[in-house]
Amino acid sequence: MHQYTLWVKMRFVKAWLLVSPLFLIFGPTLAQTDSTVIFYSQNKQPSRTKLKIVGISSGVVYGSLLAAASQAWYKDMPRTRFHFFNDNQEWRQVDKVGHFWGAFHQSRLAVGALHWAEVPAKKAIIWGSLAGVILQTPIEILDGYAVNYGASTGDLVANALGSAAVLAQYLAWSELRMQPKYSFHTTRFARERPTVLGSNLPEQMLKDYNGQTYWLAVEAAAFLPTTTRFPTWLNVAVGYGTEEMVYNDPATNQQAGFRAYRQLYLAPDLNLSALKTRSKFLKTAFFILDMVHLPLPALEYSSRQKFKFHALYF
């Protein structure tokens, strides 16, 4: 496999590896509080015990994963001076949207964790929102010193925007009214290059950009007068995806007979965190599931097929 192709895929895989275990650790903790709404409290003294739990747990898990990634992907890689690599035209920018998604939810988690630790609201928002950038940047640094890789300015910008989206919403509204979400369906294109696009379902969920759709889910009720009684659990979502991307380079992809094209979607979305429950298990599940767009009807538009309705779109 070409080293650059491996690099593109491993970067997104590492982003998933670094974000998902943190949600599993802190999900039960955050189930005890509303992690999407920050209430400005007069309490200026954080809980030292809770703060230690957050700091030690996240430090150990993140440090271990980063060390494992460094050992697995960089151990035998020749080193060079720090350099950048421009991959902004690859994969129709789906990988960049993936970085935005990852940084956003890392920051969302961190804000909620600091809020749970009783850190003053504004400090929790500011420091928590930086988590996406802080957690993703070491990956770029490691790539920047690898001779076959290179730090990506596009990834750095996407990470910063993901963190900024959390910060801006909390400062403006004291809550998250818009969230990026992920969904996936299998495609025939993975069979064309299983070593790159994945040979089984877990790999394809990470590697096959043809099956990935990223959504921006908007809590419509938050922008409407309360007299409308629009359900808070129902979002409106706009999605972005692509198809016929077998090779990362557009010219190579076209020479192989594939014509990549973009897809836009409009669909309802479930705001699970708005559902009221006393169950800590359900609160944890809702918190984690709010990272993904669950299967629902959707309207697709593309230059290839124009408008197309899906009774149930993954």
Write down the H helix ranges in the chain: 3-30, 48-74, 94-116, 121-129, 131-144, 153-173, 194-197, 201-207, 250-255, 280-289
Q: 31-40, 91-100, 107-116, 132-141: which has the minimum mean pLDDT?
A: 31-40
Last residue of a domain, one of 120, 154, 176: 176
- The reply to whether 243 and 134 lie within a common domain is no
- The reply to whether 142 and 217 lie within a common domain is no
pLDDT interval class at 20 (50, 70, 90) = low
- The reply to whether 118 and 138 lie within a common domain is yes
248 CB-near residues (< 8 Å, 6+ apart):
4, 5, 8, 87, 90, 91
pLDDT at 53: 87
What mean pLDDT is predicted for residues 61-70? 78
Range of the domain at 64: 1-176
- The reply to whether 153 and 53 lie within a common domain is yes
Q: pLDDT higher for 285 or 300? A: 300
Please tell me the total count of domains within the chain. Answer: 2
Q: 43-47, 187-191, 310-314: which has the minimum mean pLDDT?
A: 43-47
- The reply to whether 149 and 196 lie within a common domain is no
Last residue of a domain, one of 138, 154, 176: 176
Tell whether the model's pLDDT for residue 23 goes beyond 80. Answer: no
- The reply to whether 241 and 109 lie within a common domain is no
pLDDT at 255: 94
What pLDDT, in 10s, does the model give residues 199-249? 899 889 988 999 999 999 999 999 999 899 999 999 999 999 999 999 988
Order of strands, sheet of 261-270, starting from the edge strand that comes earlier in the sequence:
178-184, 212-218, 234-243, 261-270, 296-302, 306-313
pTM: 0.88
- The reply to whether 152 and 232 lie within a common domain is no
- The reply to whether 166 and 188 lie within a common domain is no
d(CA 200, CA 185): 12
- The reply to whether 11 and 102 lie within a common domain is yes
pLDDT at 1: 42
d(CA 219, CA 231): 9
- The reply to whether 117 and 75 lie within a common domain is yes
**Percent of the residues in the chain that have a pLDDT greater than 90, as a whole number:** 57
Tell whether the model's pLDDT for residue 4 goes beyond 90. Answer: no
Last residue of a domain, one of 153, 176, 199: 176
pLDDT at 235: 98
Task: Please state, rounded to an integer, the average pLDDT across all residues of the chain.
Answer: 86
- The reply to whether 167 and 185 lie within a common domain is no
d(CA 187, CA 108): 31
What pLDDT, in 10s, does the model give residues 124-150? 999 999 999 998 898 888 889 988 788
What mean pLDDT is predicted for residues 100-111? 94
What pLDDT, in 10s, does the model give residues 266-277? 999 999 999 999
- The reply to whether 199 and 297 lie within a common domain is yes
pLDDT at 114: 92
Sign of the C-alpha dihedral, residues 178, 154, 93, 75?
Answer: negative
